[in-house]
């Protein structure tokens, strides 16, 4: 190899190195962008845990009522879960519905596709969920939050359910005012507890966002 050929090869190596630098930088930039987007998505999701961040308990007549904050609803055992949804029982809208779909599995998902609400309420099999029934409430159906709470509890009564877990209606994807929702839900519980021969003995209300815990203080029920 002569001096000319050696110099030409050396220049080619330098040009190749320079050409690859922007590509490498681009990959790093893309990696950073992906990580940044992922971090933003995680920040938008409410943190849920197997154990509640906060817990309140109160007995109203023969019913044990508790409010838990920040817990994964699917970790709780009960005769029934309530799903806050729409008339189509859409499991792709809202964090709770998506979580129920994932844990409930194919059987639960198929049941939701086939079900239709009657007067704003539907009941399906639970699939792999830790309960016997799932009561679906169309939060867009007519009536106050008190009426909606009573519908769920009366449906539970008709199924002979003794324990039920209910989310804070519409406070996630529905963006409903938690103060208004909690007041209506508590009024529904108080009215239901005045009835005779009730089957529901334990009621758990799940609040996912810690920032909403103040709205669901059970002093309103005392």
Q: Tell me, what's the pLDDT at 44? A: 39
Low-confidence ranges of the chain (pLDDT < 50): 2-4, 6-7, 9-10, 14, 16-18, 20-50
- pTM here is 0.76
CA 49 to chain centroid: 12
Q: Tell me, what's the pLDDT at 54? A: 80
Q: Tell me, what's the pLDDT at 222? A: 57
Q: Tell me, what's the pLDDT at 114? A: 96
> Residue 186 class from Cβ within 10 Å (0-12 exposed, 13-18 middle, 19+ buried)?
buried
Task: Report the DSSP beta bridge partners of residue 68.
Answer: 55, 206
DSSP readout, 13-50?
HHHHHHHHHHHHHHHHHHHHHHHHHHHHHHHHSPP-BS
Domain 54-220, second-level architecture: 3-Layer(aba) Sandwich (3.40)
Max Cα separation, the chain? 105
Q: Tell me, what's the pLDDT at 172? A: 81
Q: Tell me, what's the pLDDT at 2? A: 45
Q: Tell me, what's the pLDDT at 175? A: 81
Residue spans per domain, the chain: 1-44, 54-220
CB within 8 Å of 174: residues ≥ 6 apart? 84, 94, 139
């Amino acid at each position: 190899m002569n001096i000319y050929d050696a110099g030409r090869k050396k220049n080619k190596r330098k040009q190749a190195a320079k050409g690859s630098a922007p590509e490498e930088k681009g990959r790093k930039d893309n990696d950073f962008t992906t990580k940044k987007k992922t971090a933003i998505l995680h920040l938008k999701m409410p943190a849920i845990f197997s154990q509640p961040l906060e817990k309140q308990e109160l007995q109203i007549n023969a019913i044990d009522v508790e409010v838990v904050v920040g817990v994964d609803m699917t970790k709780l055992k009960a005769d029934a879960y309530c799903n806050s949804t729409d008339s189509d029982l859409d499991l792709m809208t809202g964090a709770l519905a998506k979580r129920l779909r994932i844990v409930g599995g194919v059987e639960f998902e198929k049941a939701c596709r086939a079900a239709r609400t009657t007067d704003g309420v539907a009941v399906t099999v639970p699939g792999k969920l830790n309960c016997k029934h799932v009561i679906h409430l169309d939060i867009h159906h007519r009536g106050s939050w008190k009426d909606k709470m009573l519908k769920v509890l009366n449906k539970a009564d008709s199924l002979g359910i003794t324990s039920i877990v209910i989310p804070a209606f519409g406070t996630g994807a529905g963006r409903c005012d938690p103060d208004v929702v909690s007041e209506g839900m508590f009024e529904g519980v108080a009215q239901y507890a005045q009835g005779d021969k009730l089957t529901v003995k334990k009621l758990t209300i799940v609040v996912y966002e810690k920032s909403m815990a103040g709205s669901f203080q059970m002093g309103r029920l005392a």
